[in-house]
Amino acid sequence: MPRVDNQAFYRRAMADHGATPQGLHWRSAYTQTARFVALARCLPEDLGGVTLVDAGCGFGDLYAFLCEHRGPPAGYVGLEVCEPMIQTARERTGCKIRLQDVLRDPLPEADFYVCSGAMNNLTREETRCFIQRCHGAAGQAFVFNILKGSPGPSRFNYYLPDEIRALGETLGARVEILEDYLDNDLTAAFRKT
C-alpha cells in the first residue's frame, strides 16, 4: 500500500463534506456509529473513573458518543495530526485536543487509548508502530478498529483478525476481537496482562 498524504486526504474530504462523518472519510454516520458502539463494548461501563486518550480524534465525535451513552470519562485528551480538525474538536468537546503525531511525538499516559479509523490509511509498518506506541502508553488497554480483509493494492489498510491477534500477542496483550458489527471492519482490545 502506498503512503497516503494524510493532510491532503482529509483536507479534500473536509472541503467536500465539512465537519461530518463523510468529512472524515466515513461512508456514513451509521458506519461511524457502528464502530463507536463496538469500541464502547470494550470499555468499562462507567467511564467516570477512567482517563482516555483518543488517538486520531478527528472532530471529537467519539467523545460526544461516549458522553451520551456512558457519561464523560474522568479525563479525555484528543490527539490529531490534521490541524484543521483540531478547532472543531475543541469546540465540540470542550476538552484538550493536541496537534500530535502518534508515530513520532511523546504520548501522554492514560488508562485507555482508543482509535477509530485513524490507522486505515497508514502503511502496515506505520500501523504496527501506532499500535505498539498506543498500547505502551495505555495503563489498561488500547482499543481500536481497523478495516478487515486481505492486504492488497489499495489506498486503505486491511488486516485479517489472525494478524491483529498475533500482533497483540507479540506485545504480551490479552487480545479480544469483535467482528459482528460491519462486514469489513474489526475492533480489537489489547489489554494489559
**pLDDT tens digits along 143-152:** 999 999 987 7
Element (H, E) at 15: helix 6-17
Asked if residues 76 and 63 have their Cβ atoms less than 8 Å apart, the reply is: yes
pLDDT given at position 178: 98
pLDDT given at position 115: 97
pLDDT given at position 1: 37
CA distances from 32 to 39, 48, 116, 129 (A): 11, 24, 8, 24
- Which residue ranges of the chain lie beneath pLDDT 70? 1-28, 153
Its pTM stands at 0.87
pLDDT given at position 72: 96
pLDDT given at position 117: 87
pLDDT given at position 48: 95
β-sheet bridge partners, residue 98: 79
Going by the DSSP 8-state scheme, the letter that residue 56 receives in this structure is T
Going by the DSSP 8-state scheme, the letter that residue 180 receives in this structure is S
Asked if residues 47 and 110 have their Cβ atoms less than 8 Å apart, the reply is: no
Asked if residues 40 and 73 have their Cβ atoms less than 8 Å apart, the reply is: no
How many CB atoms are located within 10 Å of the residue 84 CB?
15
pLDDT given at position 173: 98
Return all residues near 20 (Cβ < 8 A) that are at least 6 apart: 29
pLDDT given at position 2: 39
pLDDT given at position 93: 94
Q: Enumerate domains of the chain plus CATH numbers.
A: 6-191 (3.40.50.150)
What DSSP string describes 59-125?
A: TSHHHHHHHHHT---SEEEEEES-HHHHHHHHHHH-SEEEE--TTTS----EEEEEEESTTTTS-HH
Return all residues near 84 (Cβ < 8 A) that are at least 6 apart: 10, 11, 14
